[in-house]
Amino acid sequence: MKTEKEKMMSEEPFATNDSELMNDKKNARILAEKYNHSSEDDLVLRKTILQQLFGKCGEKILIKPPFHCDYGYQIFVGENFFANFDCVFLDAAPIIIGDNCMIGPKTCIYAISHPLDAQERQKNIGLPGKVTIGNNVWIGGGVTILPDITLGDNIVVGAGSVVTKSFPPNVVIAGNPARIIKKVVV
């Protein structure tokens, strides 16, 4: 029988209040708090904390505090990554971000949802769903990305958008729900 963490890591429904997972969240919050209170000038310490927190991160990475996540170890970030102030990544499933990506302030990436049925929801069930963001993606401020989403390379996401479905490469998307506004010439 699988543990709740094994279920989560396999993107199966899992109990969010499982003691092992609660401990993992606590450890992530400790690291995020260290990061959020570190000196802007201590880039070596900040990178070391992110390497401990994330499943993988590139050499050139900058996240403006505060930053929050659930587990951290399900976040995989490529080279040359920037995230502005007050981003939240709920990583019950993998959040995979390619190279050369920029994320605006107050952006939320949710790799988890919960059952629509109220009785199921009361059982603290999480429904993980991987989020994949390609290379050279620019996500404006205040964007919300829901679970089970793939954004192709070279996408621009307009500020304030709510991304409820996947999009192919080389497009500008915006709105609630986000839709294709135009194609990007590469």
Two tokens, residue 92: 């019950």
Two tokens, residue 165: 């479905």
What is the rounded average pLDDT of the residues 150-170? 98
pLDDT digits (tens, 9 = 90+) for 100-158: 999 999 999 999 999 999 998 999 999 999 999 999 999 999 999 999 999 999 999 99
Cα separation of 74 and 125, whole Å? 18
The residue ranges of DSSP E strands in the chain, in sequence order, are: 14-15, 56-57, 61-63, 67-69, 75-77, 81-83, 87-90, 95-97, 102-103, 108-110, 112-113, 125-128, 131-133, 138-139, 144-145, 149-151, 156-157, 162-163, 171-175, 178-183
Number of domains in the chain: 1
Cα separation of 78 and 73, whole Å? 14
What is the rounded average pLDDT of the residues 16-40? 97
**Residue 129 lies in domain:** 4-183
CATH number at residue 43: 2.160.10.10
What pLDDT score does 186 carry?
Answer: 79
Positions annotated as catalytic residues are 114
Check whether 183 has a pLDDT greater than 90: yes
Q: Tell me the whole-structure pTM to 2 decimals.
A: 0.96
